[in-house]
Amino acid sequence: MNNSRRSFFVRAVGVVTFGLISSLVNAEERRRARPAAGSDKAGGATGPLANPWLDPKDQTAQALSYSEKHADVKKADLKVERNGVAFEKQKCNNCSFYSEVGTKEGTKAGNCTIFPGKLVKSEAWCTSWNKKA
């Protein structure tokens, strides 16, 4: 192998090595910048936890008598058995529409398919409560 060919291969290997190292460093920086799933860091939650809490004054929430605290439901006609489950045992955290995503502001939070883009509290309740299979 003559000198110019050797020189070319040495430079090519150097460029490829530099590119690989740069990619690895960038990937590591992106990984470190991303908070762990389900975290609620002081700088603000990300992922599903970044969604706002469902406002009980939201039109649909009101129509479904959504209450952030199951214990605050006062109307007797709402406190009925559903799917064979006594009202006292009905909460978002055991509703078929609920999937927990983590803890936000010290409260367990979840997604509800009835309220996309919002978080509901695990101890909340609404009239669409449905027994988890």
**Which chain residues interact with ligand SF4 by CB under 6 A?**
66, 92, 95, 97-98, 112, 114, 120, 124-126, 128-129
The least CB distance from residue 128 to ligand SF4, in Å, is 4
Q: Is 30 exposed, middle or buried (0-12, 13-18, 19+ CB in 10 A)?
A: exposed
The structure tokens 């599903």 sit at 48
The least CB distance from residue 53 to ligand SF4, in Å, is 11
CB closer to ligand SF4 out of 48 and 98:
98
Distances (CA, A) of 111 to 12, 36, 41, 93, 127: 51, 18, 19, 10, 16
CB closer to ligand SF4 out of 109 and 112:
112
The least CB distance from residue 87 to ligand SF4, in Å, is 11
Locate 86 and state its tokens.
């006594």
